[in-house]
Amino acid sequence: NAGVTQTPKFRILKIGQSMTLQCAQDMNHNYMYWYRQDPGMGLKLIYYSVGAGITDKGEVPNGYNVSRSTTEDFPLRLELAAPSQTSVYFCASSYRGLAKNIQYFGAGTRLSVL
Amino acid sequence: AQTVTQSQPEMSVQEAETVTLSCTYDTSESDYYLFWYKQPPSRQMILVIRQEAYKQQNATENRFSVNFQKAAKSFSLKISDSQLGDAAMYFCAYRSAISNFGNEKLTFGTGTRLTIIP
């Protein structure tokens, strides 16, 4: 069972560069989420999606963009990387209406912006 | 907005002993879910246990149990017979039960780092 797969696992960016963090799930979940985890802190929601073509901002969306063209994939885009975006990024998914919406997490992407 | 507070940044326990991790939350809602997630050094977030607010009975999963006090807005995690593999960051999380667009996100506490002493 693959579950939620995130790529890459690690990445170093220079200030001003852009990149896309990939997230894919094979559980046919309609809800997907992007969180960031700063050192010593809990996870904070960046963006989420309730289905293909439907996304919305979370608590900390500035500097990020998302798209959801398929049920399986939910990429997170950083357009102009800044040091404040150094963090660990987690993608999660859940199936609304089943099992009380347990969110299943990927293994995370550690991003450093230098 | 809901908030989740974990007041113990670090805890330690002797192997085979019992430890309790604290969590309090603030909400004006009456129906919600509470979760404990474990994050080992591998970073993978793993669900440990879940509690539904409208259920009086405390949830239990093998060596893990919760003490859910709805009136006090408290949700502590008890780990019995602690094992070396229990060493991890533990996060308490809240989710609204209201099925509106955007309510299904988790609100996390800042975590408690648990160390198991052999």
Residues A11/A109, Cβ–Cβ less than 8 Å: yes
User: What spatial distance separates the first Cα and last Cα of chain A, rounded to whole Å?
Assistant: 35
CB pairs under 8 A between A and B: 59
pLDDT in tens, B65-91: 999 999 999 999 999 999 999 999 999
Would you state the pLDDT for residue A33? 94
Which residues of B touch chain A, with CB atoms under 8 Å apart? Answer: 4, 9, 33, 35, 37, 42-47, 50, 52, 91, 93, 95, 99, 101-102, 104-106, 108-111
Would you state the pLDDT for residue B44? 84
Average pLDDT over residues A72-96: 94
* CB-based contact A40 B47, cutoff 8 Å: no
Q: Name the pLDDT band for B100 (thresholds 50, 70, 90).
A: low
Average pLDDT over residues B2-25: 96
| CA separation for the pair B75, B69 (Å, rounded) | 6
Task: Name every chain B residue with its beta carbon within 8 A of the beta carbon of A50.
Answer: 101, 104
Structure tokens at A88: 């660990």
pLDDT in tens, A8-54: 999 999 999 999 999 999 999 989 999 999 988 889 999 999 889 99
DSSP-derived letter for residue A114 is -
The whole-angstrom distance between residue B31's C-alpha and the CA centroid of its chain comes to 17
Closest CA to A8 of A76, A102, A101: A76
Residue A48 touches chain B, beta carbons under 8 Å: yes
